[in-house]
Structure 1
Amino acid sequence: MERPPLVYGQGQQLLVVDDEPGITEMLATTLGLAGYQVRTAATGRDALRLVATEHPDLVILDVMLPDIDGFEVCRRVSEQPDAPPVLLLTARNSVLDKVTGLTTGADDYLTKPFSIPEVLARVQVLLRRTRRSADPVLSVGGVVMDEATRQVTRDGRVVELSPTEYRLLRYLMVNAGRVVSKSQVLEHVWRHDFGDGVVEKVVSRLRQKLDATGTPLIHTVRGFGYSLREG
């Protein structure tokens, strides 16, 4: 069977966070040869410091770290202005771990052992997906999304969103007035089938933040999916 071609970077800055020297060295070397600039960290504290000072374009983050749990690191990264996408690496493969990672702000999830071509493909997809559009402002029903600053407001009030919630809202805003299914959300927000439970949980979190001071905008269409609309 013919292997898919490897995808190469264009000098984007990546941060690899793992306390296993063998994995860190392997990823750093491979990603460097693939055209990326790579920094590494072995602890959660070092990872947070480098994210704040180096502003990487993407973080590859192991869940099991010696000081701060990778899920907590992911949550803190997602709260920073213009947060980079996060690709989680872990030996865990349970649905609960996937839900935890994705709802704390992770953009994608790879289970060890993984293949280098898959890592390169996931990195390229995440970098492409988070690239800012030429027309950076979306507006629906008092909700304004400025993709140049990654800021979301509703009726002038700033709405703080995780990267996952941001991508979900963007997809709903682009398709405002239409009904999108859970499978469509999974395909366009994560590009993986993590199950309906993940979609329901993230939609619930987004509703709590978006509708805190206004009428509901995200409507459930039973048996079909969700629709973002007024009324």
Structure 2
Amino acid sequence: MPKPEAVKTMLAIYNSLEDAGKTVSAIIGDGIVPATLEMLDRLTIKAVEESIHAGFPLDAEAVLLIELDGLKDGMERLAERIMEICRKNNVREVKAAKTEAERTQLWAGRKGAFGAIARLRPNYLVCDGTVPRTKLPEVLMKVMEVGKKYGLTIANVFHAGDGNLHPLILFDERNEEELKKVHLAGSEIMKICADAGGTISGEHGIGTEKKKEMLFVFTPRDIAAMKKVKKAFDPEDLYNPGKVLPEQP
């Protein structure tokens, strides 16, 4: 597949996580679908800068990494539209990478974010839920409230343009009480996603971890129908036994 004719990478810096979320909703609502639209919150920014030095400001509450690709004609106009939307949503600063080296540095920060977060605590749980992009601001605020409720630290780095959230709940698995809180918090975050009109997985799947959360988005009758379909193709339950579908819908 040929490379795009042109690429434009922008960094938008915010003093408010909510304003960053509103910007994502506004960009999509304006009919613009960037090639990439990623969000990192303050904790993630701090971890990235201590590890990778990508050039994200340490005093920002959130940054958006926005990339356009495609035909050169019209790209500057589209980039300016995005920058104007950022300004309307209280962006502190929005700027474009001037060189390929600057672009590479910004992307190194995003790609290394999960590894950087791993330096903060011995373990983290990656929550994977998806919500309508118009609901991002309120869902992000609710996710942070879950962290406060359970006394847990939550970092956010995710595919904002898809509404695919990845709250990272930091913990130490040697602390049994903390581990219990992590599982409760993770389940509560999935319920928030489902209640917002979203779902409990964007890309990581269900496995065994989120079987009971399937009932947040499917009825017992739905689950029973899925089990019948599986049994028709797998009567001896040889394929991924005990995965995805809850035992008692």
- Is the TM value for this pair above 0.5? no
State which structure, 1 or 2, has the greater radius of gyration over its C-alpha atoms: 2
- TM-score when scaled to structure 2? 0.29
- TM-score when scaled to structure 1? 0.31
